[in-house]
Every structure is written in C-alpha cells, then in structure tokens.
Chain A
C-alpha cells in the first residue's frame, strides 16, 4: 500500500493519477491523502517508480465528469475516480462511463449529481449586498455570503464573472472566497460569516415583491421546499416571510372565494374598444355570395377573411386571398396556400413560390404585373406523424367539396380581373375551373377555354418539381415548365 498525497484539488489529483496509471499501479495499492496538514508518507516516492514519464490522455468525457466529482466533499472521491480511470486505461473499458448500471459509475454519477445541484443552488441563492459605489465611475461594490455543501466555489466562479462583469464583487464562504475587480478573479481563504454584510437597502423591495407574487390560493409548501430546502433559508432575505405567508394563506383564499362578485361594467365609449368589438362581431360567412357585384378586390378579400364555407378555416391561420394589380393582364392560379403562405397571409411566398419566381423570370414574365391566387384559399394540412422532433404541418390536397366551396371566390377574382391569360398550376386549379377529370399530364399547354380568358394555359404546379427526387429529371421538368409559362408571352 502506498500513500499518495495531493492538494485537495482536481489538478493535483490528475497529475498524480497520470503517473500512477503510467506505472500501472492498481487502485487497491493506493491510499489517497488530501489533507494539507498531514505528513508526507515515507512511501510516497512516486517519481522513483516512474522514471520514464510517458504521455497519455484520458477521454474528454472522463475529465469533465471527474472535475465535477472532484468537488464532492466525500474523501473517497480520489480513490473512486482513480479506480474508474484504471478500468478505462488499464482495463481497456472505453465505454465504462456509459455503463450507468455499473456500481462504481453509479456511485460517481450520484456524486456528480450532488455537485451539479450544489453549483446550481449557489448560482441561485447567492445574494449580493451593496457595500459601496465609486464616486466618479459609479461602479458598484457588492459582497455575498454563501455556504456550499461541496468544494464548488472556484469551479463556479467563472459563472459569476461572466454574469457580473460590470460590478465589483466578493463571494465569501467558510472555505474559500472569490473576488472580482473588473479585471481579475482573486481567490482567498474562507472567512467567518460575521465578515459579510447582512442587509441591503433593496432587500425590503425584494421582500415586497416576494410577498406580492405569491398566490395564497395555491399553497404548495412541499413543492417549494423540494427546490428551496430550509438549509438555505438562513441566508435568503425573503425567507423570514415564508411562515407568515403560509399561515395567512387559507384565510386569504377563503375571503376571496366568499367575497361578492362585481358586475361587469358596460363597454365604454372608447373608439379603440368599439373597433375591437366591431371586428369581432363581424358575421362569419357560411355561404359565399356568388355574385361579386361591383366589389373591389380588396373589399372581396375583407369578406373572404371571414369565410367559413368549408371546414378548412378551422385549422388554418387565415384566408390567403389573391394578390396583384387589379388591372393585371395575367392571372396565375395555384392549388392552395402552404405553410409559409398561411403564416404570412400571402400567396406563393414559400418554397414553391420561390421556384415559381425563378421560372417566371426565366420565361421573361414580370411577377409583379400578374395577379396570383389559389383555387382554395385556406391551407389544408395534417400533422407529421408523432415521434422524434417537433411536429410539422404537412400539405394535404383539398378534396372536391373544398374546391367547389371555394370556387365562387376564384370565379369572382377572374370576373373582376378579366385577364387576357390565365395560367393554371397543377391539377387542382385546372379541375376547379375546367372539369373534374382534367389530366395535366395529357392536356398540358394551351387549352381552349374562351369563357375563362382568351388564352388559358395548364401546366404542373411548382411543388411537383420540388418533390422530384432525381436532379436530372427535375431539371428537365423545370425546362418544360418554363416552356409552358412562355406560352403566356408568345
């Protein structure tokens, strides 16, 4: 058995552990001694057994983990860490840290957990008290007192430096104290609690806040204590309020329940409030007036915003009405808004819209001069299957009922714009205005539909191109698509 003396810190242990591992010293032959006042063991002549200093590295995951465990107050930690390191390096068990059911790993994990919790509580429950302010720079000075369970002060210091860079502070603890002056962190010995200030002018305000944010109608004392155990209370300025708040809670709650209710006052004659009510009380359309009459497009869009002629409104964010100049000569009709269009309330602004933009440009068509709309004005979707990650909204094609429910809007738009040319993108658009069994693949290109517009073109929807997995095929289809678009300007 050899006694190995170290400073009670991770770096010191690491240095010794490295030498011992290189010398392949089994854990059971080592007694670790980390008390600074003990005499050095006569047998602790490690250097002599380890002439040839080699190099080795412990896995990064082990170092991070060991650094936490090293903060635990249990004196066995050095031996336990060494034993695990020995099993990894000499035993060749590279996956040891992942074996959560291994007894040694489990014990170390429990220790690391305790240290993590202690650090977390330090970050939470340190309370700074102001002790001064530099007259010219206005830089403030603060001092805090904290009593950690484990040796965590130095490991946790960087958190406070990064958070409170712009002020001077000291955190005093029984074992070690840390100080920040704006430039450097200093570590000094521990002090007695009497060295720390006990009050701050702001503590009263804080207590006032604590008292008021508490809801007496929902008393859950155990839940509070699970997260804020009593041992911390003595250093928390708000803690002295806890008992009286608990005691008065039920009386306060009963009084609230028993109190007589207040009759709501009538809606005030406030223009803003009236406007909210007008908007809210607007009738929801369950049937669309077939004849747009002499309504402008923007007036139509306003009415369409309340449309509930089919159930699609329910899961969509908003009606996405057509967009473009009232005197447009070209009208482009797609299927329905997608995810992006639904969020923004505008047609063709998502991925398919971007592809359409590129192809329109390639065909020499100015999008801003065209009127763009969809056969169906609400986004139809289903959630992606449950499982990993957040759910997304997946496009679902509208059915015959939804298309015909929405058709009056499309007809009204066509009647209002009276375009020279209509481009129908995809089967849904073509079926909506031509006939239900229209086949894009067979009939694409110029089609005779003079009741709609002098020139009508049917082609694929850009989202069809986006779905093609094969790049070559996609290129070909895109060329064909641009050819179809060009029919509008030839």
Chain B
C-alpha cells in the first residue's frame, strides 16, 4: 500500500538522485547534549546505507518539488519532460527528516528544488525548511541546501545561516555548453553567486567572537560529464578555477546518465562511468598531490586534453615522464613521493615518518598496503632497484593495462578510490 506521502517521497527522491554529492563531513562539531532535540555533526561523515549503484546514502536527498520552469536538457525535471510531478510542503520535509534521523537512517537533509514561480520564491521555501528544522525543532544534524544562483544574495546568505554546506551546480564546464544545454542558466551569474558565498564563509571564519552567528563552512558544486563535448582538460580547468577562485570544498563529477524521459537535444546513452572515475582521481591529484592542471592530460597528440581511461591519471603521467624516475623512497622529499604511482598521500607521509627510524624495504611497503605492483618500476628501496631498461621499455604501459574483460570489474574499486583518492 502506497500512501500519498510515500508516492511523493518516491517521486521527489527519484528526481534528486542525479546529484552526486552525499558528503556529510566537515561540519563544525556540535551535538544535542544541551539542546531540546536530536542531532550531531562534525568530523567524518557517516554513510548509513549503500544503494546497488555503489553510492552512499548519507542524507535524505530530495527535491521540495520537481515542478520546474527551467529547461535544462540533461535534467529529468526540466519543464518539457513528461515525468510525474509532486510537491512537498516544507512541514512534510521537516517531519520526514526528523523521523528518518531518529531511526538513524540518515545524517541529515540535502534539499534542492525545481524552480517554481521564480528563483526567490523557490529559495524562500527551501530556506524555510532549514529554518523550521533548526529553530522549531532544534535539529543539530547536517543540512545541505542547494541554492539557486539567480536568487537574491540575501536569500543565499540566509540559507548559509541554517546549512552546513551550500552548493550551486555549475553543471557544465564551458559557457557555450551551458548556453546550449541549460538555456536559463549563466556561468557568470553562477560564479558571482559562488563568489558571494565564499566572501560570506570567510567573513564568518574570521569572526572570532564567541557569539557569532553560525554559518555554513563549505560550498561545493557538480559538473555533468559526457553531456557536452568538453574534454577532460576543459573540465579540470574549470574545476581548478572554481577551487582557486571560490574555495570550493568539492567539485562532484556526475556521468551523464540515461533518464526516463530524455530530451531530443540530448538523447540517452550509457553513462561514462570510467571517465567519471578518472576525473575524480585527477581532481585528487589537483587538490592533494600538488599537480598542475596542465600536467594531468597530455598536451599534444591524438589524446591531447583527454584522460587515459585504461590507467589512472598519475600512472599515465608517470609513463609520460619516465625521466623523473626511479624515485628513492628513502630520500625523496614528500612532494616527489606524491608523484609515485600507487602511493597515496597518507602512505607517502607514513614513509617520511617511518624512514627516520629504519631503511625501508619492499616488505615494509607491503605492510603499509602500498600498491607494490604499481610502484615497483618507479621506486628505489634499500633492497630494490628497478631496471632502467624496464622503465624505458615499451612494454611498461602494457603491464598496467587492464585485460579487456577486467574493465568491468575495475568499476568496483572506483567509488573507493574516488573517495579516498588513493591512486
């Protein structure tokens, strides 16, 4: 038996699932000890369940309504789609969030909405949900609000007062693509809204007074991969720009996925999941491994601007830059260790710590669970010296290439690697 609330929830969760973000981490630490309700946040996020698509379920991710005036061709909720429509009242979302939270199904709420009437009207409704949760119910769990770049600055600001994270989807990497596929959106306006959010977050962070009003401490965005013809270099360049200019916490990449009712401008295709995975790996190289955006994809040749789908981007970089190897694990500075394929940030730091006490052998790296197979041709340890011949060999790449059949299985580790960034 399906109740009206149940079918609404199903429609509005279905409408929200193309947003990849599920983060519930990094909030300012707080709990409900001195409060009147429930909720805590801060530290690492918790994934309360996983769907068979490998994505974690951490937040109640719904739209307030999937009625929408916009006609973004990649979106299931665009105005010309024939999808079933539904609309929650703010009170319904509040109750669902609390009921789910108390059963420990979720960490909190991720609320977004189709645009009804205009951006401000919609934004007010979204903000109202968060306000009710915080003020009426003293809810101290995690709230992520999707904001609308066309909405007034003061409403975006208000959203930030109730939310832990606010986000605006840039959707596509270039102005031309946005013009073509999201006729109501505008890259400049989106970036201006992100600039406003960054200013407000920094202002709040600089305010050291004890009674300062709470404010979101992060913003993120999402880019759809494979809906337009932008290459990986264009996508990473946009990400790098957004990270640098607006201090985003995360850029999420979402492989353009078939939707139940697709637009004639953008027919359904199978989602480019491996490409999405490689972009996450490349994104990690940008943020944590000290790579410049121009290093990550080949500059020229047939594959210029494209990530290698068969092997991870760090390995691909190493194969293009063999003269930088082998690297001596016992001596190389940290930023050089970061360049070694198969060695993550965490292990690189542990190596620096451990080598102070004893010379490192291969078995020590095995203990640290370093991906030895990947590292081996590129490193020197106290008991291993790779052959220069091997490093120069044409066969080195073939050694890492997945056998045709295995590609599918590689998917399994994609999420994990995307999450941890261990590449």
Contact = CB atoms under 8 A, between A and B. Distances in A.
Whether both chains belong to one complex is answered with yes
Interface of A: 95, 98-101, 106, 120, 123-130, 140, 142, 144, 159, 161-167, 200, 202, 204-206, 208-224, 226-228, 236, 238, 242, 245-246, 249, 253, 256-257, 259, 261-265, 267-268, 270, 272-273, 276-277, 279-280, 315, 317-318, 340, 342-345, 383, 386-388, 390-393
Nearest to B10: A212
Contacts of A211: 10
Given A200-B103, A272-B69, A387-B335, A259 B268 contact: yes
Interface in B321-370: 335, 350, 353-354, 356-358, 360, 364, 367-368
Contacts of B48: 124-125
A128 B101 CA distance: 9
B105 A127 contact: yes
Given A100-B368, A124-B47, A386-B291, A249 B52 contact: yes
Contacts of A223: 50, 54, 411-416
Contact of A344 (B33, B183, B199): B199
Contacts, number: 289
Given A98-B356, A163-B32, 8 more contacts: A163-B39, A166-B37, A208-B9, A213-B13, A224-B52, A256-B259, A262-B262, A315-B245
Nearest to A222: B412
A140 to B, nearest CB: 7
A270 B68 CA distance: 12
Contacts of A279: 186, 189
Nearest to A95: B357
A283 B286 CA distance: 35
A277 B47 contact: no
A209 B290 CA distance: 40
A262 B9 contact: no
A256 B260 contact: yes
B104 A273 contact: no
B419 to A, nearest CB: 9
Given A166-B38, A214-B52, A383-B244, A208 B271 contact: no
Interface in B125-180: 138, 141, 150, 179
Contact of B35 (A123, A166, A263): A166
Contact of B51 (A128, A224, A256, A345): A224
A262 B54 contact: no
B35 to A, nearest CB: 7
Given A120-B46, A218-B257, A100 B102 contact: no
A161 B31 CA distance: 9
A253 B207 CA distance: 50
B79 A213 contact: no
B407 interface: no
Given A101-B354, A166-B32, A245-B52, A213 B57 contact: yes
A163 B57 CA distance: 18
Contacts of B273: 218, 220
A206 B105 contact: yes
B91 interface: no
Nearest to A99: B357
A212 B9 contact: yes
A104 to B, nearest CB: 12
B385 interface: no
A222 B117 contact: no
7 contacts: A98-B353, A126-B104, A162-B40, A200-B103, A218-B257, A256-B258, A262-B262
Contacts of A246: 52
Contacts of A264: 71, 73, 78, 80, 263-265
Contacts of B241: 315
A283 to B, nearest CB: 13
A261 B264 contact: yes
Q: How large is the interface on B (under 10, 10 to 19, 20 to 34, 35 or more residues)?
A: 35 or more
B412 A280 contact: no
A205 B1 CA distance: 11
B229 to A, nearest CB: 18
Smallest CB-CB A-B distances: 10 pairs: A222-B412, A223-B54, A220-B54, A162-B31, A223-B415, A256-B258, A212-B13, A101-B364, A214-B51, A265-B80
Nearest to B334: A388
A128 B104 contact: yes
A238 B100 CA distance: 13
Contact of B102 (A167, A236, A317): A167
B53 interface: yes
B368 A204 contact: no
Contacts of A222: 54, 409, 411-413
B270 A162 contact: no
Contacts of B79: 265, 268
Interface in B82-141: 82, 96, 99-100, 102-105, 117-119, 138, 141
Contacts of B46: 120, 123-124
B195 interface: yes
- Most B CB contacts (10 A, CB to CB) among A165, A213, A270, A340 go to A213
- Most A CB contacts (10 A, CB to CB) among B14, B51, B60 go to B51
Contacts of B5: 205
Nearest to A257: B268
B49 A220 contact: no
A98 B69 contact: no
A210 B353 CA distance: 43
B312 to A, nearest CB: 16
A219 B409 CA distance: 11
A131 to B, nearest CB: 12
Contacts of A216: 53
Contacts of B354: 98-101
A376 B379 CA distance: 50
Given A219-B52, A246-B52, A386-B291, A391 B57 contact: no
B275 interface: no
A209 B60 contact: yes
Contacts of B287: 390
A101 B369 CA distance: 11
B199 A343 contact: yes
A318 B10 CA distance: 41
A100 B214 CA distance: 40
Interface in B171-227: 179, 183-184, 186, 188-189, 191-192, 195-196, 198-199
Nearest to A384: B244
A267 B69 CA distance: 9
A142 B103 contact: yes
Contacts of B44: 120
Contacts of A257: 258, 268-270
Contacts of A126: 104
Contact of B416 (A226, A249, A273): A226
Nearest to B360: A101
